[in-house]
Amino acid sequence: MIPDYDTYVKAFHSACRAGDLPKVQETLGCRRRLKIADLSEALEIATHRAHADIVDALFAAGARVSKMAINCLPGNPNIQQDPRIIRQFLDHGLDPTASYSNGIPIQVHRRNPACARELLLRGADPNRADRRGVTPLTRAVDSEREPDASRIEMLLAHGAKLYPGLLYNAAAPRVPQGEFMTRLLLEKGLDPDAPSIDWGTPLHLAIYSGKPNIVKLSLDAGADPTGKTAHPEYSA
């Protein structure tokens, strides 16, 4: 018995979600044609789940890059996105300088260095900021969960520019690798006394954040403990 179309599509989308490539290929090779909207939804599902082989099969079957599919490029938070998917999207019309529907540049949210590299190789601007001034380097300093410099080194190798404000990002509360990032940025030559209207210097923000190791790193790098601060209660 031939299933009704809705049941047929539901099974197809389930296969895309599960990463069942043979089932997906069987459906795509069937004479029963899928609606464009259902093919597009399949691409969104496979992209979100980082199933690169299925994404490739869907593009070969006529799926197209759409705003909704682009929004799925960050992938599942628990799954590392596959750089092949970024490459496949680029090969099928994705603008490397594009933004998600919320206006955030795609490059800003690329956590995987290999994925970011695919965009940079095709012309993405490593210094482009979102509406809040967040650049790819800012995001790397703020969000890196492990003491890993590979994303920052990769961005710098492709033209990203260091700026003093990154030391404030590293010294802020709730930054997972603040100490590691501070050490890295100071080793890269950033000024430990870089001034800020809001804080004075990174040293004062580190004191406010309760990060004694960053305070020590800053002082060891030559930070002035008598420097002017907007918050005298957080002086060294």
Look at the chain and count its residues.
Answer: 236
For residues 94 and 182, give the distance between their C-alpha atoms in angstroms, rounded to a whole number.
Answer: 35
Task: Kindly report, residue by residue over 186-197, the tens digit of the pLDDT.
Answer: 999 999 999 988
Q: Which residues of the chain have pLDDT under 50?
A: none
Task: Kindly report, residue by residue over 158-199, the tens digit of the pLDDT.
Answer: 999 999 999 999 999 999 999 999 999 999 999 999 998 888
For residues 87 and 116, give the distance between their C-alpha atoms in angstroms, rounded to a whole number.
Answer: 10
User: What is the pTM (predicted TM-score) of this model?
Assistant: 0.86
- Extract long-range pairs of 135-142: CB within 8 Å, 24+ residues apart: 135/108, 135/160, 136/107, 136/108, 136/110, 136/160, 137/161, 137/162, 137/163, 137/166, 138/165, 138/166, 138/169, 139/108, 139/109, 141/166, 141/169, 141/170, 141/175, 141/181, 141/185, 142/169, 142/172, 142/175
Position 78 scores a pLDDT of 84
Position 231 scores a pLDDT of 54
- How do the domains of the chain map onto residue ranges? 1-71
Position 55 scores a pLDDT of 99
What type of residue sits at position 184?
L
Position 225 scores a pLDDT of 87
For residues 193 and 40, give the distance between their C-alpha atoms in angstroms, rounded to a whole number.
Answer: 51
- Extract long-range pairs of 72-81: CB within 8 Å, 24+ residues apart: 72/44, 72/45, 72/47, 72/48, 73/47, 73/100, 73/106, 74/109, 74/111, 75/47, 75/48, 75/49, 75/50, 76/48, 76/49, 76/50, 79/49, 79/50, 80/50, 80/112, 81/50, 81/111, 81/112, 81/115
DSSP string, 108-132: GG--SHHHHHHHHHTT--TT---TT
Position 235 scores a pLDDT of 54
